Amino acid sequence: MRSLLKFVVIVGVVAAVIILGVTSGWFGSKPAETKIQEPPPSTPTAPESTPITPGPTASKGSEKKRPSSDRRTNQTPTTTSANATNQVLDWEDRLDAIVGGEGEDAGKVKQLLEMFPRLPEDGQVEVAQHLSNLVADQDYAPLGKLLADPKLPEAVLDVLIADVLNRPNAVKLPLLLEVARTPQHPKAEEAKDLLELYLEEDYGADWNKWQAKMEQWIKDNPE
Tell me, yes or no, whether 141 lies in a domain: yes
Q: Give the domain extent around 173.
A: 89-220
* Cβ contact 143:160 at 8 Å: yes
Q: What is the pLDDT of residues 146-203, one digit of tens each?
A: 999 999 999 999 999 999 999 999 999 999 999 999 999 999 999 999 999 999 999 9
Residue 183 in any domain: the answer is: yes
Give the pLDDT confidence of 65-104 residue by residue, as tens digits: 333 333 333 333 333 333 445 788 889 999 999 999 888 9
36 lies in some domain:
no
Buried b (16+ CB within 10 A) or exposed e, 154-180: eebbebbbebbeebebebbbbbbbbbb
In this prediction the pTM is: 0.61
Give a yes or no: residue 197 inside a domain.
yes
Domain total in the chain: 1
Residue 115: alpha-carbon gap to chain centroid: 33
